[in-house]
Amino acid sequence: MTSLDDLPIRDDLRGREPYGAPQLEVPVALNTNENPYPPSERLVKALGEAVADVAGSLNRYPDRDAVALREDLAAFLNEDTPGAGLTSRQVWAANGSNEIIQQILQAFGGPGRAAMGFEPSYSMHPIITRVSGTRWIDAHRDEDFGLEPARAVAAIEEHRPDVVFLTSPNNPTGTALPLESIEAVLAAAPGMVVVDEAYAEFRRAGTPSALTLLPGNPRLIVTRTMSKAFAMAGTRLGYLAADPAVVDALLLVRLPYHLSAVTQAVARTALAHGAELLGTVDRLRRERDDLVGWLRGEGFTVADSDANFVLFGRFPDRGRIWRGLLDRGVLIREVGPPEWLRVSVGTAEEMAAFRTAMKESV
Ligand code: PMP
């Protein structure tokens, strides 16, 4: 049998592991930070009609620049962050924010260039960075998972990275960054600064979005996704807001017609039902805060969370707890620093199942 090692694969890919969040069929899946609420019957009907509308012209390529979708996304962001004042020229969309990140690295990274992040953070940042031929530099988060501006600035000045990734709220810790940290990084960074806001809609009251920093900062990119709060992970739609010149740069690397007509139609329909889809966010936030309280009450250490998941510990053998939960039908994620586990926020029933399984597993 031929193995990977027998193939003339790129030297720098040899021995690498693919992204591997286990996809298991379980009664309670709390492992990939999805929104647990499926689309309503009304939305399912609207999505079906939107797909039927484009089905008759699938012999033609879709709008290569996804203009109508980008207009809808800009309108959504302007509602989410009053004062953002974004136009569709400042918004770009792709198949998940992972593809957005890949396009950013294709345009601003590459051989001979470096990207910096602060781990523990989203595991795909280093993976996409390396696959794009870019060198990865991990400058670490602080002990409390925050990012002390002076230390971040010192790391940037030492390494002069072409791209800096900040994740806020951070995955897997849930930590949101104050704007001062982002501003300090922007002032020090010689290249692009990407603020990955995949979980922004879950942020607590008073936690600002980096979108407010876009005016006057053409090297800032804020990425978002419809996979989390928007409950559309299956659609694969991620997007960014930045200076129009950044969008011009990404046009150089994107594949023509990368966003299918079906994706564009489904995403626009979901955005038109945005109030309904985002209607679950407050419920999930409350469920998250209850979960944090419960875990602390049980004596666990819990990181403050502005997202729809919670990092908790500390377990000398976290694998045993993870397995104990799985044996009881509850799948969470063994991710982040050793001794910690991450659980996504689900429905009230799912969280009750998690609490019962935890009591039986520790
Ligand atoms: N950024 C962060 C911080 C994430 O946690 C994720 C998904 N886990 C993504 C980006 C990618 O999401 P998607 O490609 O579904 O938009």
Does the beta carbon of 98 lie inside 6 Å of ligand 1? yes
Residue 347, sorted as left (phi over 0), alpha (psi -120 to 50) or beta, turns out to be: beta
Residue 54 pLDDT greater than 80, yes or no: yes
The CATH label, of 3.90.1150.10, 3.40.50.1100, 3.40.47.10, 3.20.20.70, for the domain at 24-40+279-361 is 3.90.1150.10
Residue 18 pLDDT greater than 90, yes or no: no
Residues near 81 by beta carbon (within 8 Å), at least 6 away in sequence = 209, 211, 212
Q: Tell me the C-alpha distance between 352 and 308, whole Å.
A: 16
Q: Span 55-273: which CATH code?
A: 3.40.640.10
Residue 266 pLDDT greater than 90, yes or no: yes
Tell which atom from ligand 1 comes closest to the C-alpha of 121: 3
Instruction: Write down the pLDDT at residue 22.
Output: 79
pTM of the model: 0.97
Residue 19 pLDDT greater than 90, yes or no: no
Mean pLDDT calculated for residue range 199-218: 93
Mean pLDDT calculated for residue range 305-333: 97
Tell me where in the chain the CATH 3.40.640.10 domain(s) lie.
55-273
Residue 206 pLDDT greater than 90, yes or no: no
From the CA of 7, how far away is ligand 1's center (Å)? Answer: 30
Does the beta carbon of 263 lie inside 6 Å of ligand 1? no
From the CA of 3, how far away is ligand 1's center (Å)? Answer: 30
Work out whether strand 114-117 and strand 309-313 pair parallel, antiparallel, or are unpaired.
unpaired
Mean pLDDT calculated for residue range 37-57: 97
Instruction: Write down the pLDDT at residue 52.
Output: 98
Instruction: Write down the pLDDT at residue 226.
Output: 98
165, 196, 199, 221, best to mutate for ligand 1 pocket (most atoms within 8 Å of CB)? 196
Mean pLDDT calculated for residue range 143-170: 97
Tell which atom from ligand 1 comes closest to the C-alpha of 237: 16
How distant is the alpha carbon of residue 78 from its chain centre?
A: 20
Tell me where in the chain the CATH 3.90.1150.10 domain(s) lie.
24-40+279-361
Does the beta carbon of 33 lie inside 6 Å of ligand 1? yes
Does the beta carbon of 134 lie inside 6 Å of ligand 1? no
Give residue 100's pLDDT band: very low, low, confident or very high (50, 70, 90): very high
Residues near 250 by beta carbon (within 8 Å), at least 6 away in sequence = 92, 103, 104, 107
Find out whether 213 and 220 touch, Cβ atoms under 8 Å: yes
Residue labelled with tokens 């390529």: 61
Q: What is the mean pLDDT of the chain?
A: 96
Give residue 83's pLDDT band: very low, low, confident or very high (50, 70, 90): confident
